[in-house]
Every structure is written in structure tokens, then in C-alpha cells.
Amino acid sequence: MPNSTPRDNRPTPRDNRRILIIDDNAAIHADFRKVLGAQAEHTAQAALDVLEANLFGETVVAAARPNFDIDSAHQGQEGVAMAHQALVEGRPYAMAFVDMRMPPGWDGLKTIERLWATDPDVQVVICSAHTDYDWTEVVERLGHSDRLLVLRKPAEPIEVLQCATALSRKWENDKLVKEHVLRLEEVIKTRTRGLEAANQQLRHLATHDALTGLPNRVLLDDRLQQAMAHADRDMRSFALLVCDLDRFKLINDSLGHRAGDELLQEVARRLLTVVRTADTVARFGGDEFVLIGTSIGDAGDAEALAARVMDVLQAPVRIAAIDIHTSPSIGIAMYPDDGVSMQALLAHADAAMYSAKQHGRGNFRRYAPGMDAGTEERVQLESDLHNALTQNQFELYYQPKVDTQTGEVRSAEALIRWVHPTRGIVSPAEFIPLAEECGLIGTIGAWVIREACRQTRAWQIDGVPTLRVSVNLSASQFRDSGLVDSIRSALDDADLQARYLEVELTESAVMSDPEKSIAILEQLSAMGVLVSVDDFGTGYSSMSYLRRFPIDKLKIDRVFIDEIVSRQEDASIVRAIVSLAHSLRLKVVAEGVETPAQLEFLKTAGCDEYQGYHFSRPLPAADFERLIRESHPADVLTEDEAARTHSKLAAYVPR
């Protein structure tokens, strides 16, 4: 037989069906319990309904009726105390029925005021059979609230049940909304903390150097302004030191930027050890650091700080299994003696630093009037250098390379000159280092290659005896991934055969990355370009690279030629270089030959070619052409002379 299953009306964990009745009439409490509580007659009637359904084979559906948990208080004070205890136990009341008149204690309005002060979430139904409280007075006392209903006595059971059901459900919904809002607030707090941390990190990145963690120029300006303000207020001085690492570019060029970065990080760590907490160490850019010695009151103390900086940087830094020795050049400026503005103070400290470099590097100098003249001149020179290419101010001079035995000119070295509109001829020794520092060396080097190819082909077309022209490649230019394509393009544009072009590289440039150097040199050799190692004997002088690299010539540095006649040691070195080169099928060129005695020694030693003032200084293209026409009545560069002397990768193939 089918059984009827009443719907389970037990409250869920989130449901709250606790109701507090506050009324001074005991009979009223009994009436509320009959309406809201689980009555026996209801249970008995439900049982009879089930039996009747079983007899007649019908299905009975039990009416859904909520079951409330009822507590009673007979005075307002007692009700408020019970509400407080319920909160303490974690079982608050969802709602309360409150009588308006409960002598001799509080009336209904005061009870509700105290009740809400104890538990702001409890829902309230005012029960009153009197008309002496109108709605205006209720609103004035309790305010407009969605937690309040008014029920007129005597009330129908359905009215009581509806109030209890609706307000208890409202209490539950309010609870859900509050919990959801709390969760949202926690999410917002978490995300806000994350944003604050991100903003803090962004602020740190905006004011600190990413590599070293030191203050950058932005924060340095702020610290410098603060130091000046404090110095003015306290009527005292402070020191500004500009510290630049000597020959840092050589480390970058030879060991790579990663090694340079590691060196800068170690320098930053060491500099922090020599200053006080109140002082500032900042990275100004590149390999330049700035120290603000706010605790330094006179020039003597500033020089003592500079000496400590030099001492702490004296120990080598081991990077990539190599002990790297570095030294700083330091410029000192005192506030306010050497400048009363931030710009002037930095400029004067910078000028003192460059003065230290000019006096041998690895030392410090305090600013003196007139020092900044050289700095301003250098800045102006850099500005002019940027315009030199576009205004066609560069010119190539050519110095002959002479056959030691026959005296014939078979090749020449192209040397750049800057014809400045107001300074006249500017020496390469003056502007080439500047071009390397400001990043123009690649552009200038590419122009030299193109111009040398163009001029060489122009001479061939004009009937000048055929020559090979060599150009110098800087270390950074040699490492440029576009070098080979740039040379190929210059040759193609000039319609010049590759055998008439020679490139000269220093030992340090070749040995900075041997494997990469081999790959580049092999491409040049396969193209037909000759390769010379310049300043041989002053760099790595590794015998292994002479055997492995596809090179064709060695150029003996002038330092060995200067005293070749008077110093037996130099003479022995030159003989050894010539003998070694010839045993490896390399030709030898001596540079800086200025006297007949030097030339005679080179002839005896078997040196193949020489260049120097003994034969001719570097000449403009027109003067060089005239010299060649006078000394070469005919084209004497044979195929044998143009062929490779060493490279196994390519041989001369006529075009």
C-alpha cells in the first residue's frame, strides 16, 4: 500500500526559526505557541489523514508548515537580556513579537530600542490593541526601518504565521547578503593589497636602477635637492662625487655585456660599504656612479671618501674565471663652494672626473675653475660629430704600404680624418673614442668601408696603378651581425673585386669571442677579402689563433719599431715575429717606420712591407693618386700578389 511521506520541514543549518515573544500577558504566549509551535492536534490529524488514505488507497500530501522555536519573556528588560544571551551562544533570534504596553516595565518602543541596540539584525513585529501610539511617533522613536511591522491585536492566526514566516526568511536573506558582502570586501582587500604592492614595486622601479638596485637619476635629483635644502638650513657643506670606471668599455667589448653587468653590480655593492647611512650612492648611467656625502663638511673629508672608494675597488672582481681589475676616476665638487644649483654641482663634479681621467686615470680630482671648459668642449665636439656624416665632413687619407725589397707601393691603408668647419683637421685619436662612447662608431666605420671601396674602384677606372686598400674595423663593428653583408654591399655598389679590399683587426677584437671571430673571418675569406691582425704583439699574442684563424698578414706595432736599432730586445722580437709569420705563410707589415736605419733592419730581417713617414705620411686622395702615378708608371699588381697568402677558404677568381 502506498505510504505518504510528509515533507521534511526541519531547518537547514542556515535557517533560523527562533522567535522571541515579549508580552506581559501569559495567555498571549500560549496563543503564539498554538499558532507557531508543533501542536499535538496537528500531529494527530496528520496521522488520521495517513490512515484514511491507506484505507481508501489514496495518496495524502502533508501540508508544508514551518516549525518555529519559541521563547517567552514577560517584560522588556527580560527580553533584551535573552536576546543578548542568544548572541553570546551564537544562536540569535530571527524575530521578536513585542507588545506595546507591558506595565510596570518598559513600553514596546523602549524595548525595541534596547533590543536593536543589543542585536541590530533582529526583525520586530509590534503587537498593540491600543491606538495611543500612531505611526508618526513610532517613526520618530525608531526611524524608518525595513525590520519593523505592526500587527493589530487581536490578530488572525494566518497573520501571525505570515509575519513569522516572512520575517524569519528575511532575516536569513539578510544574513546571506551580509556574508556575501563580507566575502566581497575580503576579495577587494586582498586585491587592493596586491595593487598596493604592485604600485610600490612600480614606484621602486621608477626611482631605482634595475641592474644594481641603487637610486637612479630620478631619485638622485630628489636626494640632491634635499641635501641642498638641509645644507642651507644648517649652514653647512656637503660633497658630491662622480665616479666613472676606467676602461669599462674594454670589458664589455672583450667579455660581453653580461660580464659588464656583473662588474657593475659588484661595484655597487662595494660602494655601499664606504658610505654612511645618511649618504647616497646612485647609478648615474652606464659605468658612472654618484655619491652624495651629506655627512662630509670639508674638502679633506671628501678626498678621504674618494680614497676609500679607490681602495675598496682595488681588489679584482672574478667574472667568468677571470680576475678583472678596475679603477675609478673620481671628480669632487663641494656645495656651495663649487656650485649652488644641482646642475652646476653635477657639471663641475663631472668636469673634475674628466680631469682625473686626463691625468692618468685611477685617481681623483677636486673641481677647480677652468676644468669645465674641457667638458663643455667635449659636449660640443660630440654634438658636431653627430652632424659630421650628414654634412660630409669626413675624408679618407691614404698611407702607402711599401714593398721592403723593391720599394714599390702595392697597397695603402685608409685613415679617416674629420675636416671640422672651425677646428680644421681633427685627429682620429680625439674623435674615435668619442664616437665609440656615443654609439656612432658603427655608422662611421660603415662609411669608411664604402668610401674606400668607391675610391679604389674610381682609381682603377681612371687608370691609376692597381692597389689594395685596407680599412680598420673597431671591436664593436667586428661583432656587428651585419658586418659581412655591409662589406658585400659596399663591394657590389662600388663594383670592386673583393681581392682589392683588406680589413685590419686588433688582437683583442679577434680574441674577445674566438669561435664567433672564426665564423666571421671565414665568411670574409670565402668572399675574397684579406684579413690583417693590427698591432701584433701588444694584445693576446696567442699562437693558437694564428694557426686556427683565416688571416693573411701580421702588422708589427710601432712600439717595437721605434727602438729597433738601439734596443736588442726589440730587434729580437721583430725577427721572431717575422720568422713565425713566414713559417705560417703569413706576410708581415711594419708600421711606424721613420728612419733609413729602421728600413734597413727590416730588409735584413725579411719583413715584407712597411709604412711610415720615412716613405710618406697619410695623404688626401688626390695627393696619394699623384704619388702613385709618379712611382708606378704601370699596373704592377699581379694575380700572384693579389692572391691569398694564407687563407685556405678562398683563392682569387677573376671576375
d(CA 242, CA 305): 12
Average predicted confidence (pLDDT) for the chain? 85
Q: What pLDDT score does 57 carry?
A: 63
d(CA 447, CA 431): 15
pLDDT at 590 over 70: yes
Q: Which residue has the higher pLDDT, 1 or 408?
A: 408
pLDDT at 517 over 90: no
The mean pLDDT of 45-72, rounded to a whole number, is: 66
pLDDT at 46 over 70: no
Which residues touch 477 (CB under 8 Å, ≥6 apart)? 441, 442, 445, 446, 483
Which of 98-102, 346-350, 521-525, 637-641 is the least confident region? 637-641
pLDDT at 48 over 70: no
Categorise residue 51: left if φ over 0, alpha if ψ from -120 to 50, beta otherwise: alpha
Categorise residue 462: left if φ over 0, alpha if ψ from -120 to 50, beta otherwise: alpha
> Do 382-634 and 217-369 have the same topology in CATH?
no
Sketch the domain layout of the chain as residue ranges: 18-178, 217-369, 382-634
- Strand bridging mode 95-99 / 123-128: parallel
CATH number assigned to the domain covering 382-634:
3.20.20.450
Q: What pLDDT score does 432 carry?
A: 87
In this structure, what C-alpha cell is assigned to residue 121? 539584525
In this structure, what C-alpha cell is assigned to residue 69? 522555536
Which of 81-95, 133-147, 396-410, 641-655 is the least confident region? 641-655
The mean pLDDT of 619-637, rounded to a whole number, is: 79
Q: Which residue has the higher pLDDT, 464 or 359?
A: 464
Q: What pLDDT score does 513 carry?
A: 75
Q: What pLDDT score does 301 carry?
A: 92
d(CA 161, CA 32): 9
Q: What pLDDT score does 354 carry?
A: 87
d(CA 598, CA 600): 5
d(CA 418, CA 540): 31
Cα distance from N-terminal residue to C-terminal residue, the chain: 112
Which of 344-353, 449-458, 468-477, 626-635 is the least confident region? 626-635
pLDDT at 622 over 50: yes
The residue ranges of DSSP E strands in 65-107, in sequence order, are 69-73, 95-99
Dump the DSSP string for 28-61.
HHHHHHHHHS--HHHHHHHHHHHHHHHHHT----
Topology classification of domain 18-178: Rossmann fold (3.40.50)
- Strand bridging mode 95-99 / 530-536: unpaired
Handedness of CA 164, 166, 168, 171 (dihedral sign): negative
Which residues touch 287 (CB under 8 Å, ≥6 apart)? 244, 245, 248, 249, 260, 264
Q: What pLDDT score does 44 carry?
A: 45
Name the class of domain 217-369.
Answer: alpha beta
| Burial zone of 417 (CB within 10 Å; 0-12 exposed, 13-18 middle, 19+ buried) | middle
Label residue 103 by pLDDT band (50, 70, 90): confident
Query: Which residues is 285 bridged to in the sheet?
Result: 288
DSSP 470: E
Digit-coded pLDDT (tens) for 643-652:
444 444 443 3
Digit-coded pLDDT (tens) for 215-259:
999 999 999 999 999 999 999 999 999 999 988 887 887 778 888
Q: What is the C-alpha R_g of the chain?
A: 48
Digit-coded pLDDT (tens) for 404-419:
999 999 899 999 999 9
